[in-house]
Amino acid sequence: MEKTFALRGDICYSKARDCIECIEDSWLVCEQGINQGVFKQLPDKYQGVKVYDYRRHIITPGLVDLHVHAPQYSFRALNMDMELIEWLNTNTFPEEAKYVDLEYAKRAYELFVRDLSIGATTRAAVFATLHVESTEILMDLLEESGIRAVVGKVNMDRNSPDNLREASAVRSEADTRRWLESVLGKYQHVAPILTPRFIPSCTDELMARLANIQREYHLPVQSHLSENPGEIRWVEELCPDTNCYGEAYDKYGLFGGDCPTIMAHCVYPSQMEIALMKERGVFIAHCPQSNTNLSSGIAPIRTYLDNHMPVGLGSDVAGGFMTSIFRAMADAIQVSKLRWRLVDDSLKPLTVDEAFYLGTKGGGAFFGKVGSFEKGYEFDALVLDDSNLSHPQQLSVKQRLERLIYLSDDRNIIGKFIFGKKI
């Protein structure tokens, strides 16, 4: 890592939830992986440091994917004409079962990590499968790529086929401990996260055992919450003693509080669930593309933002068909407009500024001071060449960023830095 260096270009970042700051031809300075601020001129004390000259290009914080299933990348954009539970049984479980085969896992995970590497994502919260060894292969590959990620070996001991179900809660716990002993401290950029698949896949006994592991290792947790009406009814049947889906995690202490937690989807929260998520500081991973593809619905993100709850974006591959978080920003805006029109016109659609916040600083907060160019933030940056997005008129830096959100793909990414390291 170069200890101190500077980037020069057209700089964009979220100053606040509803405000993108755009500063033409300015400087960023990175020292030891930490951003020193945005400067109109390179300060005297940094004269002589290495400079990356990206004038006329746009520089943004790296993008954060708060929810993605690595083993599902193989069947992205296939066979999505069904709802969640049928889709899990038809596509997901048979595919994930293949990851017992380490050669298949390696081949598939290499494709996933290569895509993530050439894309805009710099941080990710990743689901693997229940298999310990192939999960470690995925973690090895992510470590090599430089992407900072939390990765979860999945826990699931009920309601799935024999070839994708842990034999018992005891076995699931034992495998999880074996995995943790192997990976803890092994990586610079990658860390484990506890990953009960979702309530229908986890017995009470398994949840209790995972709770013990969580307290012992102080691990963060990721799972799914209130994605689909049929799923929610199923959880009500499975957990007759809880008042909402979230409580089924909370009663084991796996729902925020001292246990940093990401819950994906949160499409149909009850008032009680919203209050509980807020009290516990649960991160919401909004996955608009997946919620559309699986006909789940549209999450009330404006409600979460108005309640000052932490929200980021997830690609949710392969419920989503693309890993792009720029695409997730566009999707988040689009579905919020349809929700305003079709469901509840008291919740105004998300703006470009808000969607950009969600995909950078909003999700980044799960990883610490991540997702902004304010002083003291970890130095994750993208350099974007928008010269292929032709236009006959003058455009401001903000307008060019808006276009990149809607129209860019990996061709536009010409530089990527993660925690001060050029990838």
In whole angstroms, give the CA distance from residue 351 to residue 155.
37
The single residue listed with the structure tokens 């703006």 is 351
Stretch of 9-17, 217-225, 249-257, 334-342 lying at the interface with a second copy (CB under 8 A):
334-342
* 271 makes contact with a second copy (CB under 8 A): no
Give the one residue of 14, 36, 60, 74 binding a second copy; rule: CB under 8 A. 74
Stretch that binds a second copy, among 58-66, 168-176, 243-251, 342-350 (CB under 8 A): 342-350
Residue 102 sits in the site that holds a second copy (CB under 8 A): no
Of residues 33 through 72, those in contact with a second copy by CB under 8 A are none
Q: Which of 379, 385, 265 is nearest to 313 (CA)?
A: 265
Among the residue ranges 75-83, 170-178, 255-263, 372-380, the one whose residues contact a second copy (CB under 8 A):
75-83
User: Cα dihedral sign for 95, 96, 100, 101?
Assistant: positive
To the nearest 10 degrees (0 to 180), the angle between helices 397-407 and 325-342 is 90
Question: β-strand 283-286 against 421-422: which pairing, if any?
Answer: unpaired
Beta bridge partners of 53: 8
397, 22 contact by CB (below 8 A)? yes
Contact between 292 and a second copy by CB under 8 A: the answer reads yes
Return all residues near 352 (Cβ < 8 A) that are at least 6 apart: 20, 329, 333, 402, 405
Q: Which of 300, 301, 295, 293 is nearest to 320 (CA)?
A: 293
CB of 388 to a second copy, least distance (A): 10
Of 88 and 352, CB closest to a second copy:
352
Provide, rounded to whole angstroms, the least separation between the CB of residue 76 and a second copy: 7
| Residue 343 found at the interface with a second copy (CB under 8 A) | yes
The distance of closest approach from Cβ of residue 287 to a second copy in the complex, given in angstroms and rounded to an integer, is: 13
Residue closer to a second copy by CB (options 277, 352) is 352
> Is 416 within 8 Å of 30 (Cβ atoms)?
no
Considering only residues 196, 260, 297, 319, which one is a binding residue for a second copy as defined by CB under 8 A? 297
Distance between CA atoms of 308 and 303, rounded to whole angstroms?
A: 9
> How far apart are CB 312 and a second copy at their closest, in Å?
21
Which one among 185, 237, 342, 346 touches a second copy, defined by CB under 8 A? Answer: 342
CB of 26 to a second copy, least distance (A): 22
Q: Distance between CA 417 and CA 415 in Å, rounded?
A: 7
| Interface residues toward a second copy, by CB under 8 A | 74-81, 95, 98, 104, 107-108, 111, 114-115, 289, 292-298, 321-322, 333-335, 337-343, 349, 351-352, 389-393, 395, 399, 402-403, 405-407, 409, 411
